[in-house]
Amino acid sequence: MTDETGHGRGGDEDPIELASRRQPLGPARIAALLVGLSMAGLLVVILVTMNRPEAAAPSPAIGEIVPELIGTTLDGEAFDIDDMRGQWVALNLFATWCVPCQVEHPELVDFDEEHRRTGDARVVSVVFGDSDNAVREFFAERGGDWPVLGEGYSSVIVDLGATGVPETYMVAPNGIIVERILGGITHELLDSIIDHYSNPQ
C-alpha cells in the first residue's frame, strides 16, 4: 500500500530503501552508546550490592581464626575479641554515611539485645572510612550497646579481605569465621546462620 506521495507505509516499505535511509553509527554515537551501557551496568552492580543480604560471599578469611582484634572501644573499654570465645560474634564493618548500614542498624540492635539475654552471641563493629565522633553521634541517636572499634583498627579490615561496607563476618564460638555477608543483614539472617551451624542436618 502507498500513500499520496507514492511511498510505501508500515510493513510494505522496501527493506533496501529503509536501510539506505538509516544513518550509520558514527564514532560519537558509538561512544555514547558504550558509555550508556557502562552506566547501566554500574547501576545494576550498585543495586545488587546494596540489596543482597541473603547472599554469603567467599572470602579467604572463611575457615580461618578471626584476625587479632585488640584495643580500646569508643566507650574507652579494653577489648580483645578472643575474650568472646564461647559465643557467636557478628563482626560488622560499617560507616555512618553508608545507607545500607543505617538500614541494617535496628536489626543489629534487635539481634544484640536478644542474644545478650541468652548469652550465646554478640555484635562487634569496626568503623570503615569514618570518624570516631560521627560514629559516637550515630550510636547516641540510634541505639546499640556493643563494642565499637574506631578508625584506628583498619588492619583487621585488610586481614579479612573486606571490600566495602556493610560487610558482616560470622565468627563461631571456637573463633573460626564461617560466613561473610555482603550488604545489609537482618536479625533473621544472623539467626539462620547460627542455627545452620549449631544444628547441622
CATH (domain of 77): 3.40.30.10
For 131, the 3-state DSSP assignment is coil
CB-CB contact of 166 with 185 (8 Å):
yes
Count of the separate structural domains present in the chain: 2
CA end-to-end distance (rounded Å), the chain: 70
pLDDT value for 50:
39
Q: Which domain holds residue 21?
A: 10-50
Q: What angle do CA 177, 182, 186 make, to 5 degrees?
A: 90
- The per-residue pLDDT for range 94-145, each reduced to its tens digit, is 999 999 999 999 999 999 999 999 999 999 999 999 999 999 999 999 999 9
* 4, three cell numbers: 499520496
Do 76 and 42 share a domain, yes or no?
no
Using CA atoms, how far apart are residues 75 and 145, in angstroms rounded to an integer?
Answer: 10
159 torsion bin: left (phi>0), alpha (psi -120 to 50), beta (else): alpha
Give domain status of residue 58, yes or no: no
* 120, three cell numbers: 550465646
Asked if the model's pLDDT at residue 26 lies above 90, the reply is: no
Asked if the model's pLDDT at residue 36 lies above 70, the reply is: no
Do 111 and 165 share a domain, yes or no?
yes
Confidence of residue 20 (pLDDT cuts 50, 70, 90): very low
Do 39 and 97 share a domain, yes or no?
no
Give domain status of residue 3, yes or no: no
Q: How do 177-182 and 70-72 pair as beta strands?
A: unpaired
Confidence of residue 152 (pLDDT cuts 50, 70, 90): confident
pLDDT value for 41:
40
- The per-residue pLDDT for range 45-71, each reduced to its tens digit, is 333 333 334 445 567 899 999 999 999
pLDDT value for 71:
93
Give domain status of residue 62, yes or no: no
**Residue type for position 135:** V
